[in-house]
Amino acid sequence: MEPLLSVRNLTTMFTSGRRAARAVDGVDLDIFSGETLALVGESGSGKSVTSLSILRLIPDPPGKIVAGEIRFEGRDLLSLSEREMNRIRGRRIAMIFQEPMTALNPVFTIGEQLVEAVRVHRSMRRSEAERLAATWLERVGIGRPEAMLRAYPHQLSGGQRQRVMIAMAMINEPALLIADEPTTALDVTIQAQILDLMRELKRRTNTALLLITHDLGVVAEMADRVAVMYAGQIVEEAPAERLFDDPRHPYTRGLIRSMPRLDDDRPRLEPIPGTVPPAHAFPPGCRFAPRCPFRTEACAAMPALRPFGRPEDGHRVRCHLAETLPVEPAAAASNG
């Protein structure tokens, strides 16, 4: 089956002064219609830059996509004009951002913003677009949608605003929805509601979802497949269940081990020591090596992202030690 979106060797650089850095360095991703791919990593790993690059929303300057190919519905998005790109943004690929408090324009009503989102792509009468907007507000669980159309963002709660954002992104029923940390800024109870809502809308419209998150709890709940990013590269990719059962990259293991869980008998969480290096100071060789408890001399050379196990498992790892890593008792026991 042909993937809906196929990213190859995506490389995005940021320049500040004379210093240039590859925030995203040779990323490959495939997303199929209707599936949910989670892109996971700490802050600074390049996952947001990857998602913004797909829609070509990287602010230039300082950012620039310097290499790669982004094939979507048979076309390379990187070769399109800005005009052609605008016909894809919001229509075929839509995006939800992390900060619902600031993602809506404060001086326009919810109705004006939703109607604009529709009418920029479809020739529809204003009254008709308003009706559609109200329908979508209802669909995302906002009561009294007619009144809400006339409300301004500051009159809404954070959860309501994120629902409006989802309605705005989904109103043209795009083939792909990119959600960048859609629940991070919300209360826990609201988080669960928003995730439920996204799952339900996805089922209804068969939209593929690229879910960007650092929260493995969200991943476990939502994702079909997972790609783990570290320092601008994909370090491991696998179907969700497999990734949790048998993570093969030390970084993935670190992420899973630092995740709080209910059946926990460890005295405390185990964070990964150190932080993601800044993009201009990526170490040569394996980028995770300086933080890796298993590192050997081999790690001075950059490992390739290569299949692990049988090819049909769809499991790829960027680690010299993938085969020799001991089976993780904590990880193996946790996912039942």
Partner 1 sequence: MKVLVSRLFFLVFVVLGVTFVTFIISHLIPGDPAQMIAGQRASPEVYAKIRAQLGLDRPIWAQYLLFLQGLLQGDLGTSIRTQQPVLDDLRHYFPATLELVLFAFLLALFVGIPLGVYAAARKDTVIDALIRLLAVSGISIPVFWYGLVLILIFYGKLDLLPSGGRIDPSISPPATITGLYVIDSLLEGNWAAFKSSLAHLVLPGITLAFAQLALIVKQTRAAMIEVLRQDYIRTARSLGIPSRKIYFRYALKNALIPTTTVVGLAIGALLAGAVVTETIFSWPGMGKYVVEAIGYLDFPAIMGFTLIVSVGYVILNFLVDWIYTLLDPQIRL
- Contacting range for partner 1; rule: CB under 8 A; set: 32-40, 116-124, 204-212, 220-228: 116-124
Site for partner 1 in 191-220 (CB under 8 A): none
- The span from the CA of 60 to the CA of 66, in Å, is 12
Supply the angle between the helices 126-139 and 158-170 in degrees, to the nearest 10.
120
CB of 166 vs partner 1, minimal distance in Å = 12
User: Which of 29, 94 has the CB closer to partner 1?
Assistant: 94
Cα–Cα distance measured from residue 144 to residue 148, given in angstroms and rounded to the nearest whole number: 6
Provide, rounded to whole angstroms, the least separation between the CB of residue 104 and partner 1.
Answer: 6
User: Which residues in 163-192 contact partner 1 (CB under 8 A)?
Assistant: 165, 168-169
Q: How far apart are CA 125 and CA 144, in angstroms?
A: 22
Q: In the numeric block, which tokens belong to residue 325?
A: 């890593």
Q: Which of residues 67-96 bind partner 1 (CB under 8 A)?
A: 82-83, 85-91, 94-95
* Interface size with partner 1, residues (CB under 8 A): 33
Nearer to partner 1, 55 or 243 (CB): 55
Which residues in the 236-295 window bind partner 1 by CB under 8 A? none
**∠ at Cα 132 (191, 107), nearest 5°?**
70
Segment lying near partner 1 (by CB under 8 A), choices 39-47, 64-72, 108-116, 261-269: 108-116
Q: How many CB atoms lie within 10 A of CB 19?
A: 11
Nearest to 324 by CA among 287, 290, 288, 299: 299
What does DSSP assign to residue 276?
P
Tell me: does residue 117 bind partner 1 (CB under 8 A): yes
Q: 63: which residues sit within 8 A by CB, 6+ positions away?
A: 12, 13, 14, 23, 49
In this complex, which beta carbon is closest to partner 1, that of residue 72 or of residue 251?
Answer: 72
Q: Are 133 and 114 in contact (CB under 8 A)?
A: yes
Least distance (Å) from partner 1 to the CB of residue 31? 17
Compute the least distance from the CB of residue 30 to partner 1, in Å: 22
**Binding stretches for partner 1 (CB under 8 A):** 55, 57, 61, 82-83, 85-91, 94-95, 97, 99, 102-109, 116-117, 120-121, 152, 154, 165, 168-169
